[in-house]
Amino acid sequence: MVKPRHRRTAAIIGVGHTDWVGDWVRTRAGEKPADSVGYAARAFRNALHDAGIARDQIDGLIVGPTTPYERMGELLGLNVRWGGQADAVQSVTQACMAIEAGFAEVIVLVYGNNQRSGGTQYGGPNAMGGGAYLSYVYHAPWGLTSQGGLYALMMRRYQSERGFAERDLGEVAVAQRGWASLNPDAIMRKPITIEDYVASPYVCEPLRMLDYCLINDGGVALVIAEAGRARTLSQRPVFIEAIGRSDLNRNATSLAPRLLDLYLPAQQEAASASFEGAGIGPQDIDVVQIYDSFSVHVPLALEGYGYCALGEAGRLLREKGIGPGGQLPTNTAGGHLSESYMQGWSHQIEAVRQLRGECGPRQVPDCRFVHYSSDVAGKAMSIIYGR
């Protein structure tokens, strides 16, 4: 495997998001505050203000998979020389590649989703429109009608192989709610206990309601600039130190890579690439951000990326802790379980704010490096951010 070099090609100079809490209240009342494009536009406006740059300084645009590229550019008034469409972690990757190739110097990444007010279904025969590709996403031939079923099976295997208890999984939900209680932008701020977790109902055993992410409307935007430009445009750039990726595609539609391997080989390769590229190791990371559509992602990533030995995630969660006051601060805004489900985009904002020192009561002292990991659909991706 080719190892990426430590280049610091680009840096994030601006972040923005919508009013997740306010829109949660409005959508629960039956209102539809915006569509996906509208949410993305609001986030763009906030990110541009945060970056302190003019719109005409942007020469690249990447949009999330929930908005059309041309319409997004039209609405934002952007004529760029390079653009694309991708999910959160791949958008950051594509931006770095485009900057290094000389296609653009200042790229805005925008995402908007009206998944709650629009009634998006993530399970059942009409999930996300019922497209044919869902035979891969949800594995309908195997009787799985939602991602919850898949992750419930993964958790059963993980429990059996590595001695992980259901109460251990509850530590994830409790810790992330603890962080959310310190975050005014989080939707779910009421602290919970392990007893609350155990009392919550099963949705797809062994996964309980508190193991599932939120479904809410909102938008996120990031402004990424070439490293030299970033230093002139911003007094507080957050650098993208290194990125790693590894895919598990063989036998993917039979679920084998995820159910049998639990992402592990891909995680280990992505970890090696990103940590070697940044010239650091897991012991140097101050904050971990883990994609968490389900709580299951967290212990798998803690082991897969080397924060503890295989089979030791339960002990790490119980004894060292990942919540406020713990030794390994993880998903410090509350994550998808408690802050907002923005499909990985909101984790990038928290990484930036922690490295800027802007997080108030949840700020991790002297934060120098933040690690983001995403393990979805057999792809393991890893980003190291540094100040």
Q: Which domains does the chain have, with CATH numbers?
A: 10-119+213-386 (3.40.47.10)
Phi, psi for 310 (deg, rounded to 5): -60, 135
Q: What angle do CA 205, 206, 209 make, to 5 degrees?
A: 80
Q: Is 1 helix (H, G, I), strand (E, B) or coil?
A: coil
Give the DSSP per-residue string, 111-166: EEE-TTTTT--SBSTTGGG--TTHHHHT-GGGT--BHHHHHHHHHHHHHHHH---H
Whole-number pLDDT of residue 278? 96
Residue 73 corresponds to which tokens in the numbers above?
């550019």
Concerning whether 197 is annotated as a catalytic residue, the answer is no
What is the secondary structure of 292-354 as a DSSP string?
A: -SBTTHHHHHHHHTTSS-TT-HHHIIIII-SSTTSSS-BSTT-HHHHT---TTHHHHHHHHHH
Q: What is the full per-residue pLDDT of the chain (387 aa) written as tens digits? A: 445 544 689 999 999 999 999 999 999 999 999 999 999 999 999 999 999 999 999 999 999 999 999 999 999 999 999 999 999 999 999 999 999 999 999 999 999 999 999 998 887 767 766 555 555 565 666 677 788 988 999 999 999 999 999 999 999 999 999 999 999 999 999 999 999 999 999 999 999 999 999 999 999 999 999 999 999 999 999 999 999 999 998 888 778 888 889 999 999 999 999 999 999 999 999 999 999 999 999 999 999 999 999 999 999 999 999 999 999 999 999 999 999 999 999 999 999 999 999 999 999 999 999 999 999 878 899 999 999
Dihedral of CA 296/301/304/306: which sign? negative
Say whether 251 sits in a helix, a strand or coil: coil
- Distance from first CA to last CA of the chain, Å, rounded? 27
Are 13 and 202 in contact, with CB atoms under 8 Å apart? no
> What is the residue type of 31?
E
8 A C-beta contact, residue 83 and residue 73: yes
* Residue 150 · residue 295 · CB < 8 Å: no
Is the separation of the CB atoms in 62 and 68 below 8 Å? no
- Kind of pairing, strands 379-386 and 369-376? antiparallel
Active site residue 341: yes
Which listed residue (122, 138, 212, 291) is catalytic? 291
Distance between CA 179 and CA 20 in Å, rounded?
A: 16
Rounded to whole angstroms, what are the CA distances from 260 to 77, 313, 331?
47, 18, 26
Burial class (CB within 10 angstroms; exposed 0-12, middle 13-18, buried 19+) of 7? middle
**Long-range CB pairs of 118-123, under 8 A, 24+ apart, other chains included:** 118/32, 118/35, 118/36, 118/217, 120/215, 122/146, 122/147, 122/215, 123/147, 123/148
Q: Report pLDDT for 363.
A: 98
Which phi and psi angles does 29 have, rounded to 5°? -85, 0
CB-CB contact of 13 with 53 (8 Å): yes
**Predicted pLDDT of residue 377:** 77
pLDDT of residue 136: 53
Q: 240 - beta bridge partners? A: 385
Q: Which of 111, 263, 341, 385 is catalytic?
A: 341
Q: pTM of this prediction?
A: 0.95
d(CA 249, CA 256) in angstroms, rounded, equals: 9
